[in-house]
Amino acid sequence: MIQTSKDVLFLVLGISILVVSFFLILLLYYLMKFFRECYKVSKSFSKITDRINETTKIVKEKGRQFTLLPLLSEAIRTIIEFLKEMKRKKEEKREEVEQESKK
């Protein structure tokens, strides 16, 4: 069957072509999986943006009916009070640590 060096060359070329083809097919398979996942992510992202757009439209419509300023000012006041309380607790804790370290 293998009689000359030319036959060995053709056998090696055939095997190498099969190996390269296998790796190219494997590469294409993983590329297709990657692009499919990208498509799914972009589709879910577009759904999220659509929901955000719908929500903003609803808020705009409701905002025309009544003003949101009292609600926003109350929310900001609550946040500021919370931050002041956190700062006060930090200062108290720092003072306790300082008093303990002096002892």
Given this model, what pLDDT does residue 73 score? 82
pLDDT at 51 over 80: yes
pLDDT digits (tens, 9 = 90+) for 7-40: 999 999 999 999 999 999 999 999 999 999 999 9
What pLDDT sits at residue 96?
A: 83
pLDDT at 11: 94
d(Cα 33, Cα 6) in Å, to the nearest integer?
41
- Whether this prediction's pTM lies above 0.85 is answered by no
C-alpha to C-alpha distances, 13 to 5, 6, 9, 26, 90, nearest whole angstrom: 12, 10, 6, 20, 74
